[in-house]
Amino acid sequence: MLSAEKNQLLTQVGPGTPMGDYLRRYWHPVAGASEFDDKAVRPIRLFGEDLVLFKSLSGQYGLIQRRCPHRNADLAFGFVEQDGLRCAYHGWEFGASGQCLHQPFEEIVDVDARLRKKTAVKAYEVREKAGMLWAYMGPAPAPELPDWELFNFQNGFAQAVFAELPCNWFQCQENSIDPIHFEWTHNNWTARLHDNQAGYVPTHLKTQYEEFDYGFVYKRLRAAETEQNPMWTVGRVTLWPNAFYLGHHFEWRVPIDDENTLSVLWVFSRVPQEQEPYVQSRIPSWYGPLHDENGEWITSHVANQDFAAWVGQGRITDRTKETLGASDRGIVMMRKRFFDELDAVAAGAEPKGLIRDPEANRNVPLPSACRAEMIDGLPRAELDRHPLLGPYLRDFIGQAGQPEHVRAEYEHAIGQKTQRAKFFIVHGAAAEHGAAADDAANAATAATAATAANNEPASPAPVPHPASR
Ligand code: FES
Ligand SMILES: [Fe+2]
């Protein structure tokens, strides 16, 4: 339980708020690069600020304020030039630095362009990496954009998957240090959604949380597993400050504003060794829906189950009304670390986990329960049996709404058809394979239900990229 004041400290992200200013000191993934294959300008709201993201004709990305400083027209209606974005109202043009590059009529009246030279808009740095566009909205100089090792693995199919969630970012991030929810949200709830007599998977026996340079590691041990299980020896990473790393994918929770969050999944699916060498030409990106065609929450896929849980906590969850227990030890540790960080940074300290040295930012490894398999690969039959990676060979269990063209590219990459499952019963390994089985699979031994025999798409239609906000 927290005081209302402390809850505000964690959840308010607008300009000038302690947490908003703190998070702005990190790079955040904000869009898919492939969105700009067929458009050049889109509005975007980040940290409570209305902005436009554009790609100039020369290929440079820019992120600038949405309102034109002339007479407040919406620059989302603007059009791109060689080096910038031009307002559709009277033609003022702005570069990625925010500097005004052209004021057509003013420069006829005043050839010295005095007004233009002193006109600039708010602008933030944008970079492309791993098929995503990343924004840095903090004070200069920007830190390194982390070169996580997973971005550089070979022989895999990556995809960037987005969703806009109507809830505050922090309740999403608390999920990154909440191992117990896996047993209930992704195992038992799923099973009961489809069979109200279904048995429960093995329960958690103990958890452990350790801090390291780039966040926390959580470890867990479930009944019928031994202490050699990689979820106990290695665990998973609560990646500072707003992400989760699971060895084969990342999840970021990027604040749109206090009441909305951009969920970003970046999933790398290793192809079977029989498909090597596989080189992906372009990382696709797509936005998934939250609701099905009947307006019901989608609960079939792993991320969608999380979304329902987080949004269900309330728009900005009221932490004055919690009843915390032993399962929340990691959450308490993470909150305390944030409070300490806010104090330290206010006193002039460097925020946790920033990388400043380019040499230190080469292929940065993170703890992973499946690192060797991700690097070396596995034959198709072994990959299929792998508790963490096998489910992705059978279907994209991550999030509902995968577009058909992405599915087709993915099937080509892995060299087999997917099952087009309608839901995924995600069991703990022990439940699947008997008590002797001991693997990391409490995450994802997915028994896909409804298979290729039912040849309908698994998911509701994908939603278009956000047109406006
Ligand atoms: S409002 Fe943008 S140029 Fe006039
Ligand atoms: Fe989850």
pLDDT tens for each residue of 147-182: 999 999 999 999 999 999 999 999 999 999 999 999
* Dist. CA 299–CA 185, nearest whole Å: 10
Q: Contact, 422 vs 446, CB < 8 A?
A: no
DSSP state of 151: G
Q: What are phi and psi of 286, to 5 degrees?
A: -155, 160
* Shortest-distance Cα residue to atom 3 of ligand 1: 90
Contacts of 44 (CB under 8 A, 6+ apart): 30, 31, 51, 52, 53, 63, 466, 469
Considering only CA atoms, which of 286, 300, 324, 292 is closest in space to residue 409?
286
Please tell me the predicted confidence (pLDDT) of residue 137: 98
Of the listed ranges 49-53, 298-302, 460-464, the least confidently predicted one is 460-464
DSSP state of 244: E
48-83 burial by CB neighbour count: b if 16+ within 10 A, else e?
A: bbbbbbbbbeeeebbbbbbbbbbeebbbbebebbeb
Q: For residues 204 and 327, give the distance between their C-alpha atoms in angstroms, rounded to a whole number.
A: 10
28 Cα: distance to centroid of ligand 1 (angstroms): 30
pLDDT at position 426, please? 63
Structure tokens at 68: 């034109």
DSSP single-letter state for residue 297? B
Report the C-alpha gap between 141 and 220 in whole angstroms. Answer: 39
Tokens 């980040």, located at residue:
46
What per-residue confidence (pLDDT) applies to 425? 65
Which of the listed residues 68, 101, 119, 121 should we mutate to test ligand 1's pocket, taking the one with most ligand atoms within 8 A of CB? 68
Burial class (CB in 10 A: 0-12, 13-18, 19+), 139: exposed
Q: Which two tokens stand for residue 136?
A: 């840095």
Which stretches of 236-356 are DSSP H helices?
Answer: 302-312, 329-346
Residue tagged 């995809």 (tokens): 159
pLDDT of amino acid 446:
42
pLDDT, average across residues 195-200: 92
pLDDT of residue 312: 98
Least confident of 81-95, 262-276, 384-398, 434-448: 434-448
Decide: residue 281, CB within 10 A, 0-12 exposed, 13-18 middle, 19+ buried: exposed
Tokens standing for residue 149: 């090792």
Alpha helix ranges (H) inside 57-143: 104-109, 114-117
Which residues lie with the beta carbon below 6 Å from any ligand 1 atom? 68, 70-71, 73, 87, 89-92
Dihedral (C-alpha) 26, 31, 37, 42: value to the nearest 10 degrees? Answer: -110
pLDDT digits (tens, 9 = 90+) for 252-310: 999 999 999 999 999 999 999 999 999 999 999 999 999 999 999 999 999 999 999 99
Q: What is residue 427's predicted lDDT score, i.e. its pLDDT?
A: 52
pLDDT at residue 439 greater than cutoff 60: no
| φ, ψ at 309 (rounded to 5°) | -65, -45
Taking the CA of residue 103 as reference, the ligand 1 atom at the shortest distance is 3
CA 69 to centroid of ligand 1, rounded, Å: 7
Task: Write down the pLDDT at residue 419.
Answer: 87
Biggest distance spanned by C-alpha atoms of the chain: 83
Q: Residue 131 — very low, low, confident or very high, per pLDDT cuts 50/70/90?
A: very high
- Give me ligand 1 centre to Cα 73, in Å: 6
Chain position carrying tokens 């958890």: 207
CA 184/CA 304 separation, integer angstroms: 14
* Low-confidence winner among 138-142, 173-177, 361-365, 453-457 (lowest mean pLDDT): 453-457
Query: In angstroms, what is the span from residue 53 Cα to ligand 1's centroid?
Result: 17
Contact 34, 284 (CB under 8 A): yes
Residue 318 clears pLDDT 80, i.e. is over it: yes
Ligand 1, atom nearest to 91 Cα = 3
β-strand pairing of 61-65 with 49-55: antiparallel
Classify 215 as helix, strand or coil.
Answer: strand
The SS3 call for residue 447 is strand
pTM score of the predicted model: 0.92
| Ligand 1 atom with the shortest distance to the CA of 68 | 2
Q: Residues lining ligand 2 (ion), CB within 5 A?
A: 306
Distances, alpha carbon 234 to alpha carbons 65, 149, 185, 210, 270, in Å? 43, 16, 22, 11, 20
Task: For residues 42 and 54, give the distance between their C-alpha atoms in angstroms, rounded to a whole number.
Answer: 6
Nearest atom in ligand 1 to 90's CA? 3
CA distance to 79, 138, 287, per residue, from 25 (Å): 30, 5, 26
Give the mean model confidence (pLDDT) for residues 338-365.
97
- How far is C-alpha 26 from the chain's CA centre? 14
Alpha helices for 111-153 (secondary structure H):
114-117
Lowest model confidence (mean pLDDT) among 74-88, 216-230, 339-353, 433-447: 433-447
Mapped onto helix, strand or coil, the DSSP state of residue 41 is strand
Instruction: Identify the nearest ligand to the CA of 179 by its number.
Output: 2
Question: Are the CB atoms for 34 and 131 separated by under 8 Å?
Answer: yes
Residue 442, classed as helix, strand or coil, is helix
- Ligand 1 geometric centre to CA of 115 (Å): 13
Q: What are phi and psi of 413, to 5 degrees?
A: -65, -45
Give the pLDDT confidence score for residue 251 in this predicted structure. 98
Residues 6 or more apart whose CB falls under 8 angstroms from that of 70 comprise 87, 89, 90, 92
In whole angstroms, what is the distance from residue 40 CA to residue 318 CA?
40
What rounded mean pLDDT belongs to the chain? 91
Query: Per the structure block, which two tokens stand in for 442?
Result: 């409490």
Query: Which residue type is seen at 213?
Result: D
